[in-house]
Amino acid sequence: MASRIYLDNHATTRTDPRVVDAMLPYFTEQYGNANSPHLFGWEADEAVEAARIQVAELVGVEPKEVIFTSGATESDNLALRGVFDEAGGQGHVVTSRIEHPAVGQVVEDLRRRGASVTLVDVDASGVVDADQVIRSLRDDTVICSIMWANNEIGTIQPVAPIASACRERGIPFHSDASQAVGRVPINARQAQVDLLSFSGHKIYGPKGIGVLTASRRRPRIRLQPMFHGGSQQFGVRPGTLAVPLIVGMGLACTLVRAEQKAEAHRVAELRDRLWVHFRDEPNVVQNGDFARRLPGTLNVSFLGVEAQTVLLELPGVAISSGSACAADSHEPSPVLRAIGLSSEHAHAALRFGLGRFNTADEVDEAAIRVLEVVRRLRATSPIHGAARASSQAEGTK
Ligand SMILES: Cc1ncc(COP(=O)(O)O)c(C=O)c1O
């Protein structure tokens, strides 16, 4: 059987073995509750506080500003709901059309609860216009949320100018940085980002742990908790701390901090190597901006070839269909529609995500296997003939 190749590092990453090793003692030996008043508890508490420092150092915040959650989904919910409820459960919310559902669906829920919402468009390369976001801010805007980098096409958003304009107007600014942390340098304090979300499993840490950072000084962001319970984490996110996961998250952040620059360079080379395999194929296009993009992201459409079919033909090569069809509909993803792709173009989109553990040999083999399927499907598909004719007419390659 052909070997398995993992090129889906946007979905999740392999936990780094160094992280697993660091976590293990906290399951079996140092298993205290971080809030317990005895040696076991103190040991666990020390580990949590050390991890808070590691996380804080990676994203440029104070350790006290780090709130551990179950993942970016919870962090996004806590940021948006927490601020909205603190503002009395009313007001105006600004976000973009290409947010992950962990933001987009929360904003839809706030709309149902009475918020007025502005969804800002992106251009054809998948980048929001900072001025347009800033122009949409109003006196009654209670929060603005723009993702740091997109999870489908990898485009990096102009977060700092938007955050700075929000700061001037006293509007809390949130960014979902789940895809950006570990892949591009991030300093929330410098960028004036008040609230920042991310997940452990996207940065070679464990699943089930995430972070929300919330500014505590100039400005102090107040959040209504989503859960009620004990006094852990200032009462904003009560519940027994997941010490082994927190320890893993801390080390994952330290590793990223030490290795991100070199890793980004290496991963971008692998991404470009993959594109070299594809670029001479007829009717192949890259989706999204090529310059403002995460190092490991390649989103391509082999026009006329359904991405879902490629995935079914290649279960051993882990990639993702850019169109992310919902099980019960054939609608392409809102992100691909927001950048103006036709339905056919969007349904052909394949997302490749290169990461820390990928090698050049894997990239070469995956490319050969993908091309073999694409060519076979094209040879047997009547749609491909139509795509070729239309793209030749438009001059697309
Ligand atoms: C941009 C973005 N935000 C939020 C999430 C949700 O993260 P999690 O599933 O870890 O809660 C993801 C995961 O795919 C993501 O890519």
To test the pocket of ligand 1, the residue of 15, 98, 100, 159 to mutate (highest count of ligand atoms within 8 Å of its CB) is 100
325 is catalytic: yes
Residues 74 and 200 in one domain: yes
pLDDT of amino acid 144: 98
What's the average pLDDT block by block, 10 residues per block, for the chain (397 residues)? 90 98 98 98 98 98 98 98 98 98 98 98 96 98 98 97 98 98 98 98 98 96 96 95 98 98 98 98 95 96 96 96 55 89 95 98 98 96 53 38
Q: Are residues 173 and 207 in the same domain?
A: yes
Q: Structurally, how many domains does the chain consist of?
A: 2
- CATH assignment of the domain containing 227: 3.40.640.10
Same domain, 126 and 208: yes
Q: What are the strands of the beta sheet with 116-120, ordered from one edge?
A: 66-69, 210-214, 195-199, 173-176, 141-145, 92-96, 116-120
CA 314 to centroid of ligand 1, rounded, Å: 24
Question: Domain boundary at 256, 285, 309, which?
Answer: 256
Residue 181: DSSP 8-state: T
Q: Is the CB of 145 under 6 A from ligand 1?
A: no
What pLDDT is stored for residue 330 in this prediction?
Answer: 66
For tokens 């780094």, the residue is 16
Phi, psi of 389 (to 5 degrees): -60, -45
CA of 10 to the centre of ligand 1 (A): 9
Give the nearest ligand 1 atom to 71 CA.
11
C-alpha 75 chain-centroid distance: 12
Same-domain pairing of 178 and 277: no
Q: From the CA of 100, how far away is ligand 1's center (Å)?
A: 7
Which residue's CA is the nearest one to ligand 1's atom 7? 72
Give the 3-state secondary structure of 104-144: HHHHHHHHHCCCEEEEECECCCCCECHHHHHHCCCCCEEEE
Distance 283 CA to ligand 1 centre (A): 31
- Alpha helix (H) ranges present in the chain? 17-23, 25-28, 39-59, 72-86, 101-112, 130-135, 159-169, 188-191, 243-278, 307-313, 334-338, 343-347, 360-380, 382-394
- Rounded to 5 degrees, what are φ and ψ at 352? -105, 130
Residue 373's contacts (CB-CB under 8 Å, 6 or more residues apart) are 310, 313, 314
d(Cα 278, Cα 177) in Å, to the nearest integer?
A: 29
Global pTM reads 0.94
- Distance set, CA 64 to CA 55, 94, 253 (Å): 11, 27, 16
Residues of the domain holding 331: 5-11+260-394
Ligand 1 near 199 CB (within 6 A): yes
Does residue 106 have its Cβ closer than 6 Å to ligand 1?
no
10 Å Cβ neighbour count for 320?
Answer: 20
Q: Is the CB of 98 under 6 A from ligand 1?
A: no
Pair (153, 281) in one structural domain: no
Beta bridge partners of 156: 149
Q: Is the CB of 72 under 6 A from ligand 1?
A: yes
Question: Which amino acid is located at 98 in the chain?
Answer: I
Q: Do 301 and 366 share a domain, yes or no?
A: yes
> Residue 264 C-alpha to ligand 1 middle, in angstroms?
20
**12, 68, 69, 73, best to mutate for ligand 1 pocket (most atoms within 8 Å of CB):** 73
- How would you class 55 by CB atoms within 10 Å of its CB: exposed for 0-12, middle for 13-18, buried for 19 or more? buried
Q: Is 96 in the pocket of ligand 1 (CB under 6 A)?
A: no
99 in ligand 1 pocket by Cβ < 6 Å?
A: no
Any ligand 1 atom below 6 A from CB of 155: no
**Could you say which of 207, 229, 256 is where a domain stops?**
256
How many whole angstroms from 114 Cα to the centroid of ligand 1? 26
- Please name which of 78, 54, 75, 92 lies closest in space to residue 148, comparing C-alpha atoms: 75
Ligand 1 pocket, 151 CB below 6 A?
yes
- Please check whether residue 173 is in contact with residue 192, taking contact to mean a CB–CB distance below 8 angstroms: yes
Domain boundary among 191, 224, 256: 256
Same domain, 265 and 233: no
State the CATH number of the domain containing residue 355: 3.90.1150.10
pLDDT at 322: 63
